[in-house]
Chains A and B, each alone.
Chain A
Amino acid sequence: MLHQTGPVIHCDHVVKRFYEDAQPGDSGVVRRGLWRRRKREVTAVAGISLDAQAGEVLGILGANGSGKSTLIRLISTLLLPDDGTIEVFGLDVTKHAREIRRRINRVSVEASFFKKLSALENLMFTGRLYGLGAQETRQRVHYILGRLGFSAAKVNATLESMSRGQQQKVAIARAFMTTPELLLLDEPTTGLDPKSRRDVQDFVEEIKARRETTIILTTHDMAEAERLCDRVAILDAGRLVALDTPQALKQQAGADVESFEDVFFAFVGREDWEEAMADEDLA
């Protein structure tokens, strides 16, 4: 078990706004910058408050544009909040970024690597940035990739020659080899083939069983969220609309819900994905 006394993540009324070039007819236009250009204000995260406890898997569900990835970027110190506070391990993300970065890692939906380099070369680079020696990196890489069902012979192949599933497994190895206390998984299984998806989910379940790492998991896959997460937060248009265990959310959603997908739609007030995703165009 972890020895974190308070919550691993503490978000208090977090707000993040972005400004995009305004188009004719846009509402909410403001003048910004040195040239006072017309910008459309988009509130990606609108006053979210939540905590994540040590060792738990907290799922974050929402349609595209609901603020999931922005929240992950805020927690991972890549974005600064406009309002509110975010503390990770009790440290303010705006003031203690480097201390936090030592203890966290992230897997994003795109497996981001130097594509001409081999998996091992990319991971050796990460290892050095996190203070790992070459031998230690190799051992960790082989262990993690082995657990993910990744062929050892492929470790010297370039990333560009790998399938999307293989690339994502290398991305997961990159995150886990640094033994993070907090792992931010931003749609890690999106676009993967069924086998790769199962491999990744099994690995996350294995990590979860050890309760040594706190995991934040964003996903569109409702069954995945129900299977892997201790608690689930549902976001809609940047707002937190629900946060509880999957079982409790099912009960709250009403007696007529059958799947966890129905639970999601019940909370966001939409009928189906088409309606849920329509907001993306408005965001």
Chain B
Amino acid sequence: MRTSLEGAIARETGTLYAFVERNFRLVKRYLSWEIVFLFYNVINALTIGLIGYQVPAGQRNTTILYLVIGALLWGYLSILFDEVANSISYERWEGTIEYTFMAPIRRLTHLLGTCLYGVTYGIARTLVVLVAVALFFHLSLSHANLWAAVVVLLVSSLSFMGLGLIAAVLPLLSTERGAQATHIIQGVILLISGVYYPVTVLPHWVQWLSWLSPATYSLEMARSALLNDAGLGDLWLSLLKLAIIGVLLIPVGLCIFVVAERWAMRTGRLKRNG
């Protein structure tokens, strides 16, 4: 019994690792593009941070940090969302979708492997941007609670994995339109979540949408931790809410995916040309 359980765990771990390893190998093969994207991410974060120089000197550090937190967290969450949501599109473009879907693996393990890659890849890229931003702006983190910020980042990942899984269904249903729809979803989340401004500046008819976005809570908590030294004791209730959203979104995303997969198998969409 114990041996079969250990064997099952080893098998599932091996499958998880397969997706992480393959995707990092692809990163290596597309290294020049990775450098270009990373360069763009760094420049983007710096230009957004530079907007903070318009405010009086006394508020400058806080404003730059406010903006940079938005750029970094959004950078991370959008990478995670992109990688999970577009994982099916990549398989279609390469023509491997049928082979991946007829492999004897659990869909849960397949998708969690993709999520695990998204988290590690997103953290790696965000760290590079963070180092560049810190060096450029000489930011003071005297009021920052870094550990709390890391916890916020990890808990936020859960809900974005869930959103990514729901969005990954779209390319399964329709190759081109699905990929287009994932970009629209990403754009709406960027607009409503208060990435570079408080959500209170949004028009009233849009503002209520911000409360539906997990990114709104992630950004609020990350800013509290890094600007006001808020610790886990201050943030636990919001963290719990965000964790519950994540824990609900992941199985919901998975269920929708499995239903969509059955639909694709019934209609013949589970192939390279969709």
Enumerate chain A interface residues (CB-CB to B < 8 A): 18-19, 70, 73, 76-80, 82, 98-99, 101-102, 104, 106, 108, 110, 112-117, 121, 124-126, 128-131, 158, 174
Contact = CB atoms under 8 A, between A and B. Distances in A.
Given A79-B265, A79-B268, A108-B98, A130 B104 contact: yes
Contact of B96 (A73, A79, A113): A113
Interface of B: 11, 14-15, 17-18, 21-22, 25-26, 29-30, 94-96, 98-106, 262, 265-268, 270-272
B272 A131 contact: no
B102 A121 contact: no
Contact of B94 (A113, A130, A158): A113
Given A114-B26, A114-B96, A80 B262 contact: yes
A41 to B, nearest CB: 12
Contacts of A174: 99
Contacts of A77: 102, 265
Contacts of B265: 77-80
Contacts of A78: 98, 101-102, 265, 270-271
Given A73-B98, A79-B265, A112-B99, 14 more contacts: A76-B102, A98-B106, A101-B103, A102-B104, A106-B102, A113-B94, A113-B95, A116-B30, A117-B25, A117-B29, A126-B99, A128-B15, A129-B103, A130-B104
B95 A121 contact: no
Contacts of B262: 80
A116 B29 contact: yes
B21 A101 contact: no
A112 B267 contact: no
B22 A117 contact: yes
B163 to A, nearest CB: 24
A135 to B, nearest CB: 13
A114 B272 CA distance: 13
Given A117-B25, A129-B18, A101 B102 contact: yes
